[in-house]
A and B are shown apart, each in its own frame.
Chain A
Amino acid sequence: MAKFFAITIIVIAIASAIPILRHTWVAPEDISTHGALIDEQMSETMAEAGISFLAAQFILAIFIWKFSNPGPNAKIKKFPGGAKGLVVAALLVVGVEVIALGIFGVKAWANVYLTAPSANAMPIQVQAGQFAFYFRYPGPDGKFGPMHPELISEGSQNFYGLDPDHDPDSKDDIVTAEMAIPVNKEIHLLMHSKDVGHSFYVRELRVQQDFVPGLDVSLHFTATKVGRYEIVCTQLCGLGHYNMKAYLSVMSQPDFEDWLKKQAAMQ
């Protein structure tokens, strides 16, 4: 029974590692300038966690195999080095390992969150609401008109509660249900929610950020590959949560300008 248990542990440990080593299920290819650091951090952590996982399971299995149900004359033996050695090993090996991971990880985090967007980053607003995202481009004047929550109306498609009759800055604002951005151009995303908590998650862009009702949250990133990607909500927001999504189209600069013109014409 004990030997069978030991073998089961080893088989499970190896079987668990195979899909990781074979990259059977992996995140889609990164299309951001900052994502490489996150992916690298993920790989390093996988190596350390994987070795720890396999080592612990193997040692557990070996000891179960070797020390279960011994004969009546077997003597109790103490592990050489005792607890002190183990505590020192845990402090040194695991302590150094995790602190190193933490310190190296700061760079990847700082790249996304602790650096300000550059002055020429393109501002785009995104508003999350049950169960859709709406995006707003400031138009030729480069300014977003003020929002009036009391004017928000899905029925009349005034998603942002704009009042272009009284606010000149709102007149040229472009509101869309799909997000388009030029490739290799830094984007400064200004995020707010009109109702409950939501999140903005684009796997390929390596970004995930919650919308916090009552707070303006911002994010900046640069996409490096033309394509169409899904934006999904990852914060439980109500009954339609599973279906709250929009698309991000990364385009060449001329294509983006054409797209924006078409959207402006449709306002």
Chain B
Amino acid sequence: MPDMSAHAVQHHAPPTSFIRKHIFSLDHKVIGKQYYGLALLAALVGMALSWAMRLHLGWTNAAIPGLQLLSKTGAPGGVITPEYYLQLMTMHGTIMVFFVLTTAPFAAFGNFFLPIQVGAEDMPFPRFNMMSFWVTFLAFVVLVSSFFVGDGPTLGGWTQYAPLNSVGSVAGPGQGLGVILWMTSIALFCVGQLLGALNFIPTTLDLRVKGMSLMRLPLSAWAWFITSCMGLTAFAVLMPACILVILDHVAGTSFFVPSNTVINDQLQPHSGGSTLLWQHLFWFFGHPEVYIAIVPGIGIVSHILVTNMRRPMLSHRVLIYSMGALAVLSYMVYGHHMFVSGMNPISSLAFSFPTLIITIPSTIVVLIWVFSLYGSKLRINSASLFALGFISMFVSGGVSGFFLAQPSIDIMLHATYFVVGHFHMVMGVAAMFGIFGGTYFWFPKMTGRMMNETLGKIHFWLSFVGTYCIFMPFHYLGMAGNVRRYSSFPEDFLQRLIPVHRFITVAALVTGAAQLIFVYNLIHSRFWGKPAPDNPWEATSLEWSTATPPPFDNFGGKHPVVYHDPYQYGVQSSVGDYVMQASPEQVKTEHEEK
């Protein structure tokens, strides 16, 4: 039985009113669920946008019923105009990268489970935590509001390159108010994530209970900790960059617009700015952001796999060091987004080598996962299927990084669908698989009810095969020279690739529809699912030592004491082939790592 010492510190009293309990809650678990809800809403919006884009790419003149209601000028009669395509694309990328891939695996699961996994009753700064969510929510509202004001959202892509982002509406629809709203939204989002990081770091370092050494932290907790360190530095750079763009719009500054810029035959009232400065600031954030999206997935998948393999990873330590190496290297590789940007070509070589070297920790992570499967007693369920699917996707998306890390090859592949295929697989789909795996695994603890396994497996099969059908052909298109960010393919050369686009569109519609099964399962199980026991997966970490769902202070007014490494599986104890971290029972193990 888990050992709970008698003393506990209440950071804040349990709320009584509906508003303090469910809306402006200080409880990290409620905030985690709020983040999850926001990510789910954002994912549905982002997916609907991708459907519209894919339909347009397959059948350029097809009318999409109802789209004219969103914008009469952008989609007259439901047919998307080229500029509206770019606006939808920008919103799809922004919503997915920021409000889904950053929010769900890091802020949602991290908020809910990091304090419990370290044995704390909450984060150290609950008010900051509440503010973190609500600022992020406000950021989402501001971003989506751009659909309904002025001439719509910005069309500059999620990277918002300068000076297109700074010259105003003269450069196209959405480039005035649309950009200001985008920059405001992202600056707010950065504030939200910085507040989150300020909580995650001390939670990990200072709130661990007795016996919980750093090396006894579960891999998911390590992943959230490493990600919060990245977030602290990356978002701190993007936020001021966004503010500088807003100043270029409203205060007459010229941070990102050079002299002699002529648009529509008019010399622009700017001088002395640097367009490459934006790219440096953006990618100094942007590349760590890729790892902010994927490292929590790596941690979550490791946590799910190890539970379902019924054995510890070949090395807990090596996985932690590899995640740390990915984080450190992620700052040294950002220039690979800029090989053909006009940056000094020697810099390109300097950025190329760390990019190639980052393959090594990634490979180590995959090798540890795969070879830990050797000799294991793998249990197949929805959570482990998604975790194993994550490995397959991570490999498929990772190997295309070999190409893009090399400046000479980037000459051919830059700005093509190859890049789109690469990042969708390695940070998009892989991270989504991490989110799905985490949901099937932790849903019982979060809600007190089990999810439907059959629906979970159907969801997995359609998603796994479907995403390969969508994103593998992207690589072929890119190799053939198909340029990204085109609303249609008027070039002679691209005409023959249209059948491939149509195949992708059909796959995207089917795979997208499969996600509705997940949403149904989520909602149905939340209210009518089978009641969940405290430890349905026979897992070892602290979240499974407490009640399901956990009480307000996580451990019922007590602190657990930790006696073991996080993943003591494959042992013989009084409860089965595992011993929980908080159990004082001594068992013979060959796996304990000191």
Nearest-Cβ distance from residue B404 to partner chain A, whole angstroms: 10
Chain A, range 49-66, C-beta contacts under 8 Å to B: 49-50, 52-53, 56-57, 59-60, 63-64
Contacts of A161 in B (CB 8 A): 262
Chain A, range 168-221, C-beta contacts under 8 Å to B: 194-197, 199, 201, 203, 206-215, 217
**B2-10, B13-21, B488-496, B504-512 - interface stretch:** B488-496
**B62-70, B366-374, B542-550 - interface stretch:** B366-374
* Contact indicator B370/A63 (Cβ below 8 Å): yes
Chain A, range 215-267, C-beta contacts under 8 Å to B: 215, 217, 230, 232, 234-243, 245
Nearest-Cβ distance from residue A41 to partner chain B, whole angstroms: 5
Contacts of A94 in B (CB 8 A): 359-360, 363
* Contact indicator B385/A5 (Cβ below 8 Å): yes
Contacts of B326 in A (CB 8 A): none
* Contact indicator B276/A98 (Cβ below 8 Å): no
* Contact indicator A28/B493 (Cβ below 8 Å): yes
* Most chain A CB neighbours (cut-off 10 Å) among B172, B257, B262: B262
Chain B 227-268 interface 0/1 with A at a Cβ cutoff of 8 Å (1 = within): 000000000000000000000000000000111111101010
Chain A, range 86-110, C-beta contacts under 8 Å to B: 86-87, 89-91, 94-95, 98-99, 101-102, 105-106, 108-109
A250 to B25 alpha-carbon distance, docked (Å): 68
Which A residue sits closest to B416, measured CB to CB?
A: A234
Of A1, A194, A209, which contacts B380 at CB under 8 A? A1
* Contact indicator B402/A49 (Cβ below 8 Å): yes
Nearest-Cβ distance from residue B553 to partner chain A, whole angstroms: 36
* Contact indicator B265/A95 (Cβ below 8 Å): no
* Most chain B CB neighbours (cut-off 10 Å) among A38, A45, A197, A213: A213
Contacts of A38 in B (CB 8 A): 408-409, 411-412
Which A residue sits closest to B590, measured CB to CB?
A: A78
**Interface residues contributed by chain B, number (CB under 8 Å):** 108
A122 contacts the other chain (CB 8 A): no
Of A41, A56, A238, which contacts B370 at CB under 8 A? A56
* Contact indicator A53/B399 (Cβ below 8 Å): yes
A142 contacts the other chain (CB 8 A): no
* Contact indicator A129/B377 (Cβ below 8 Å): no
Contacts of A150 in B (CB 8 A): 267
Of B276, B376, B402, which contacts A215 at CB under 8 A? B276
Nearest-Cβ distance from residue A66 to partner chain B, whole angstroms: 8
* Contact indicator B486/A241 (Cβ below 8 Å): yes
A214 to B276 alpha-carbon distance, docked (Å): 9
Nearest-Cβ distance from residue B378 to partner chain A, whole angstroms: 4
Nearest-Cβ distance from residue A250 to partner chain B, whole angstroms: 16
A122 to B172 alpha-carbon distance, docked (Å): 36
Of A9, A46, A76, A217, which contacts B311 at CB under 8 A? A76
Residues A68 and B352 in contact in the complex (CB < 8 Å), given A63-B370, A98-B357, A239-B82: no
Residues A109 and B359 in contact in the complex (CB < 8 Å), given A53-B399, A82-B314: no
* Contact indicator B262/A79 (Cβ below 8 Å): no
* Contact indicator A241/B86 (Cβ below 8 Å): yes
* Contact indicator B161/A235 (Cβ below 8 Å): yes
A166 contacts the other chain (CB 8 A): no
Chain A, range 8-35, C-beta contacts under 8 Å to B: 8-9, 12, 16, 19-20, 24-28
* Contact indicator A236/B86 (Cβ below 8 Å): yes
* Contact indicator B402/A98 (Cβ below 8 Å): yes
* Contact indicator B356/A101 (Cβ below 8 Å): yes
* Contact indicator A201/B415 (Cβ below 8 Å): yes
Chain B, range 281-335, C-beta contacts under 8 Å to A: 310-311, 314-315, 318
**B28-36, B337-345, B555-563 - interface stretch:** B337-345
Contacts A194-B262, A197-B275, A238-B83 aside, 12 further interface pairs with beta carbons under 8 A come to A20-B476, A25-B480, A38-B411, A41-B406, A45-B406, A56-B370, A77-B374, A86-B314, A86-B367, A105-B408, A195-B263, A242-B488
The 10 A-B pairs with the shortest beta carbon distances in the complex, nearest first, are: A214-B258, A77-B375, A83-B315, A239-B83, A108-B408, A113-B345, A234-B415, A212-B342, A242-B486, A98-B356
Query: Can you give 19 A-B contacts (C-beta < 8 A)?
Result: A28-B481, A45-B406, A53-B396, A57-B392, A63-B371, A64-B388, A69-B378, A76-B376, A76-B570, A86-B368, A87-B318, A90-B363, A102-B356, A129-B262, A152-B265, A203-B412, A236-B156, A236-B485, A242-B487
